[in-house]
Amino acid sequence: MKKVSNNEVERLYRFTREHFVVYYDVQTELVDHLANGIENQWQDDPGISFEQALQKEFKKFGVYGFSDVVEKRERAMEKRYFKLILKEIITVLTRPKVSVGLLLIFLLSNFFLSLNNGKDAYLIFLFIVFCIVLIIAGRRAVIRRKAKEGKKVFLFETMIENAGGYFSLVWIPFQFLNFMDASEGGFINWMMSFLIAFYALTSYVCFYRLPKNKEDILKKVYPEMKYF
Amino acid sequence: MSNSNLFKGSLSTIVLKLLKEEGRMYGYEITQKVKDATKGKFKITEGALYPTLHKLEADGILEVEVEKVDNRLRKYYRLTEKGTTETAKKISELEEYIKTLQEVIFLKPKIG
């Protein structure tokens, strides 16, 4: 039976990239699927060219092509990433150093927010949050460049580097400035101190713990990595 | 199958049942197996199969292993321990649903 050659496998990878599949793990699964389909067509009609068979196979993915597969894969991986964050948070919270540290952050935040210039203290926190935004933006740019250069970019790796959906949460503290203007101390200060402690905890997990253990996490998620 | 909506709802159960029987399978193999088993009446579209497999994997119901076959990598799916329990549950739910559906469709009006 006629088989897909090495060059044709390369062409299939290129084909998936041309159809906006950036992640190597998704590309690999699609390449095998397309190759199987093409070989199956060759069995019925050995005369059909590789390109013709490829187009026929691609049509089976419907009008949206690979985009639906990629989008749903991203959503599934997001879910997995958040489960991982939750697991890590529980793990680190059981460490006295972390839990005492968080309690200190919580109490100190409340102390500074209660001062007359409490809003200035909060602005310092917002500045830190803004720096986090810059870090995420920088990491995103690195991943984009890597993908552009044709290097292997894994979806879960991107999630770890981009800190998942953290980007959309990062703007919440800025909204709290309005609350500060509208109310005087008390409950709102406790709430904001809690928010600051929560940010400290999630940032520790998303920006330190997970990137530090990235290689081990990726090996578990992607068994195919043993072939690279 | 003319009405694909009827089929869509049971796609994950069909995939789980196949994996329970076969042990491990890859995406293309699943599409072909369903096509052959149903003599072409059921056709799993590629755009529906992979999102289903990826969701089941993210939920911890399936696990993956990758092997080099010919000149490319092939991703195999198999049931996890949680997946085996889930499969039995899903199959019994589907059986119950079919039974109820039959009762409704073949409902005989009461006379008198």
Residue among B50, B16, B5 at smallest CA distance from A72: B50
Domain boundary among A15, A35, A59: A59
Q: How confident is the model at residue A96 (pLDDT cuts 50, 70, 90)?
A: very high
Q: pLDDT tens digits, residue range A153-165?
A: 888 988 888 776 6
* Residues B47, A62: C-beta atoms closer than 8 Å: yes
For residues A210 and A185, which has the higher predicted lDDT (pLDDT)? Answer: A210
Task: State the best of A26, A34, A73 to mutate against chain B, taking most chain B CBs within 10 Å.
Answer: A73
In this structure, are residues B53 and B27 in contact, taking their beta carbons and an 8 Å threshold? yes
A36 in any annotated domain: yes
Distance separating alpha carbons of residues A209 and B9, to the nearest angstrom: 39
For residues A113 and A198, which has the higher predicted lDDT (pLDDT)? Answer: A198
Pairing status of strand B62-69 against strand B24-26: unpaired
Identify the three-state secondary structure at position B17.
helix
Distance separating alpha carbons of residues A57 and A52, to the nearest angstrom: 9
Handedness of CA A17, A21, A24, A30 (dihedral sign): negative
pTM attached to this predicted model = 0.80
Q: What is the CATH number of domain B4-105?
A: 1.10.10.10
Report CA-CA distances (Å) from A171 to A4, A130, A140, A143. 49, 9, 17, 22
ipTM score of complex:
0.82
Q: In terms of domains, do A162 and A197 share one?
A: yes
Handedness of CA A154, A226, B48, B104 (dihedral sign): negative
Nearest-Cα distance to chain B for A6, in Å, is 6
In this structure, are residues B63 and B3 in contact, taking their beta carbons and an 8 Å threshold? no
* Residues A77, B58: C-beta atoms closer than 8 Å: yes
Q: In terms of domains, do A21 and A83 share one?
A: no
Least confident piece of the model among A5-9, A37-41, A152-156, B27-31: A152-156
Q: In terms of domains, do A124 and A49 share one?
A: no
* Residues B50, A224: C-beta atoms closer than 8 Å: no
Selecting from B64, B68, B72 the residue whose C-beta is nearest the C-beta of A35 gives: B72
Distance separating alpha carbons of residues B45 and B50, to the nearest angstrom: 9
Q: In terms of domains, do A33 and A100 share one?
A: no
Question: Which residue in chain B is spatially nearest to A82 when comparing CA positions?
Answer: B58
Q: In terms of domains, do A184 and A202 share one?
A: yes
Q: pLDDT tens digits, residue range B54-91?
A: 999 988 999 999 999 988 999 999 999 999 998 888 88
A91 in any annotated domain: yes
Report CA-CA distances (Å) from A172 to A67, A90, A188, A199, B94. 30, 23, 14, 10, 43
Q: In terms of domains, do A54 and A72 share one?
A: no
A1 in any annotated domain: no
Question: Which residue in chain A is spatially nearest to B66 when comparing CA positions?
Answer: A224
Q: How confident is the model at residue A32 (pLDDT cuts 50, 70, 90)?
A: very high
H or E, element range at A173: helix A172-182
Q: In terms of domains, do A111 and A165 share one?
A: yes
Q: In terms of domains, do A92 and A41 share one?
A: no
Structural domain span for residue A215: 67-227
Number of folded domains in chain A? 2
Residues 6+ positions from A114 with CB-CB distance below 8 Å: A185, A189
Q: In terms of domains, do A47 and A156 share one?
A: no
- A17, pLDDT greater than 60: yes
Look at residue B112 in the predicted model and tell me its pLDDT.
57
In this structure, are residues B31 and B46 in contact, taking their beta carbons and an 8 Å threshold? yes
* Residues A69, B45: C-beta atoms closer than 8 Å: no
Q: In terms of domains, do A76 and A37 share one?
A: no
Strand order in the sheet with B24-26: B24-26, B72-79, B62-69
Domain residue extents for chain B: 4-105
Look at residue A101 in the predicted model and tell me its pLDDT.
92
Q: pLDDT tens digits, residue range B5-20?
A: 666 677 888 899 999 9
Q: In terms of domains, do A85 and A35 share one?
A: no
A19 in any annotated domain: yes
Q: Which residues does chain B have within 8 Å of residue A5's beta carbon, measured at their own beta carbons?
A: 71
B69 forms bridges with which residues in the sheet?
Answer: B72
Nearest-Cα distance to chain B for A73, in Å, is 6
Given CB atoms, is A228 within the 8 Å cutoff of chain B?
no
DSSP string over B24-91: EEEHHHHHHHHHHHTTTSS---HHHHHHHHHHHHHTTSEEEEEEEETTEEEEEEEE-HHHHHHHHHHH
Distance separating alpha carbons of residues A182 and A166, to the nearest angstrom: 27
Q: In terms of domains, do A117 and A192 share one?
A: yes
Kindly report the number of other CB atoms within 10 A of residue A139's CB atom.
17
